[in-house]
């Protein structure tokens, strides 16, 4: 049991000391924190613009009284 725990502890220390994938993790965090929420904001804005355009085209299509 102690050798297994020693192996796990040693592997955890190696992973903590390894900095090879740090840039990839940083970019993934930036993508998750900025780009994904902006996608949803753009989708909401696009829906608002579509509804505005539909309202304007409906009002322009009304006949003169």
Q: What is the dihedral of CA 20, 22, 23, 25, to 10 degrees?
A: 130
pLDDT at 1: 60
User: Does the structure show a pLDDT above 80 at 2?
Assistant: no
What six digits make up the tokens of 46?
């696009």
> What global pTM score does this model have?
0.54
């Amino acid at each position: 049991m102690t050798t297994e725990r020693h192996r796990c502890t040693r592997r955890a220390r190696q992973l903590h000391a390894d900095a090879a994938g740090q840039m990839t993790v940083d970019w993934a965090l930036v993508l998750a924190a900025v780009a994904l929420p902006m996608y949803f904001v753009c989708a909401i804005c696009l829906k608002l613009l579509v509804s505005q355009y539909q309202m304007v085209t409906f009002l322009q299509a009304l006949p003169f009284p």
